[in-house]
């Protein structure tokens, strides 16, 4: 395990995983902004992660791109690198690094629950597991997302003269909410904030079922009565949202478990829909990995480290700079 440091840097081969500063070779687990940055010499990632990086940052956001398919091995000196689905967003991957029979997995952001908008999480056996812990506290027990979406559909049926505006991150969450609506047989056009358009088009091009959608344009206020509108969370409070009739403000996030947080943000209809694992899923992933050494990063490290130590595993937190717990996508 000593071949990777606390910044997820493998010195022997000069490879970083999800570095926040421009580097020579960067393996990118997924295209969220706190993992994928502009300006690396070489990016190694899945095709979808690379496509989304280009959509967000431009064609030349890295000098060179190396596409690695899920399950395909890349040999660099005496290291073997393989990507496996992380179930987080489209294109997201865990990274398996093998050297001298030692297997180390960096999960990146992941969720184990089913999601039609990306390949589902794969459990990997390893010696060392570096796991995220965004929701690494026992209070986080995510409900069934389909049941959460039903709350939204019922509210739309009840409040025909209102529109529902749902705050959802532009990459991943917005498209997942759209897909969940379709799974629950909601067939009306879904209206989207302009900043979501390119990503929604990309998801559609990848055959993800998000159904009919249209960008919000200026229309009579009455046009949006009874409609569902999806916008990035930052738009909920700005002037953009004032054009709609009797809006009911919703938010789709794992953080909506914390009632106080929903209240502070003026969210009337909180929807607990997360693209990260909850407490039990984190524990389950650790158990299934059979790892003897568990390093914990991205979020609420302490409780998970304590759990591991109680279960006779070697464990410590990894403090990676440049990550914030709350505003993650």
Q: Does 111 bind Zn ion (CB under 5 A)?
A: no
Shortest gap between Cβ of 26 and Zn ion (angstroms)?
Answer: 16
Q: Which residue, 35 or 40, has its beta carbon nearer to Zn ion?
A: 35
Please select the residue that binds Zn ion; options are 32, 142, 164, 193, rule is CB under 5 A. Answer: 32
CB of 168 to Zn ion, least distance (A): 13
CB of 324 to Zn ion, least distance (A): 12
The SS3 call for residue 74 is strand
Task: List the beta bridge partners of residue 251.
Answer: 167, 270
CB 129 within 8 A of CB 292: no
293 forms beta bridges with 128, 314
| Residue in this structure with the two tokens 């904030």, named with its chain if needed | 193
What DSSP element (H or E) covers 321? Answer: none
* The one segment of 24-32, 53-61, 197-205, 250-258 that binds Zn ion by CB under 5 A: 24-32
Tokens of 138: 């026992």
48: closest CA among 8, 86, 9? 86
Choose between 107 and 289: whose C-beta lies nearer to Zn ion. 107
Sign of the torsion angle spanned by Cα atoms 154, 158, 159, 160: positive
Strands 73-76 and 269-271: unpaired
Q: Contact between 176 and Zn ion (CB under 5 A)?
A: no
> Least distance (Å) from Zn ion to the CB of residue 219?
34
Helix or strand (DSSP H, E) at 146: helix 145-158
Is the distance from CB of 14 to CB of 24 less than 8 angstroms?
yes
In whole angstroms, how close is the CB of 45 to Zn ion at the nearest point?
A: 13
For Zn ion, which is the closer residue by CB, 83 or 216?
83
CB of 84 to Zn ion, least distance (A): 16
Three-state secondary-structure class, residue 25: strand
Nearer to Zn ion, 132 or 148 (CB): 132
Q: By C-beta, is 32 or 142 nearer to Zn ion?
A: 32
Residues 70-109 vs Zn ion: string with x where CB under 5 A? ---------------------------------------x
Nearer to Zn ion, 191 or 202 (CB): 202
Nearer to Zn ion, 109 or 148 (CB): 109
Please give the Cα distance from 217 to 238 (Å, whole number). Answer: 16
> Count of residues binding Zn ion (CB under 5 A)?
2
- To Zn ion, the closest distance from the beta carbon of 329 in angstroms equals 5
CA distance 249 to 167: 8
Footprint on this chain of Zn ion (rule: CB under 5 A)? 32, 109
């Amino acid at each position: 395990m000593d071949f990777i440091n606390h910044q997820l840097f493998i010195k022997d081969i000069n490879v970083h995983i999800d570095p926040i500063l421009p580097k020579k070779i960067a393996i990118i687990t997924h295209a969220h902004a706190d993992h994928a940055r502009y300006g690396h010499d070489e990016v190694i990632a899945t095709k979808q992660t690379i496509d989304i990086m280009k959509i967000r940052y431009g064609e030349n956001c890295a000098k060179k791109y190396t596409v690695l398919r899920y399950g395909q091995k890349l040999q660099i000196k005496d290291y073997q690198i393989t990507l496996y689905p992380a179930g987080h967003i489209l294109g997201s991957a865990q990274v398996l690094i093998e050297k001298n029979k030692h297997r180390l997995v960096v999960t990146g952001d992941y969720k184990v629950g089913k999601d039609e908008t990306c390949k589902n999480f794969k459990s990997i056996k390893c010696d060392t597991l570096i796991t995220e812990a965004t929701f690494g506290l026992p209070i986080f027990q995510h409900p069934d997302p389909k049941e959460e979406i039903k709350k939204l559909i019922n509210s739309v049926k009840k409040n025909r003269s209102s529109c529902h505006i749902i705050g959802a991150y532009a990459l991943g969450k917005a498209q997942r909410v759209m897909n969940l609506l379709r799974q629950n047989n909601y067939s009306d056009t879904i209206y989207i904030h302009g900043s979501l358009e390119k990503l929604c088009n990309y998801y559609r091009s990848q055959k993800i079922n998000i159904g009919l959608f249209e960008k919000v344009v200026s229309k009579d206020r009455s046009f949006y009565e009874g409609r569902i509108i999806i916008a990035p969370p930052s738009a909920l409070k700005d002037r953009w949202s004032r054009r709609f009739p009797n809006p009911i403000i919703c938010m789709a996030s794992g953080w909506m478990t914390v009632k106080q947080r929903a209240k502070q943000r003026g969210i009337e209809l909180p929807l607990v829909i997360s693209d990260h694992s909850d407490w039990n899923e984190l524990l389950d992933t650790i158990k299934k990995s059979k790892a003897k050494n568990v390093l914990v990063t991205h979020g609420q490290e302490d409780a998970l480290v304590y759990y591991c130590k109680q279960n006779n595993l070697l464990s410590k937190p990894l403090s990676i700079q440049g990550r914030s717990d709350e505003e993650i996508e």
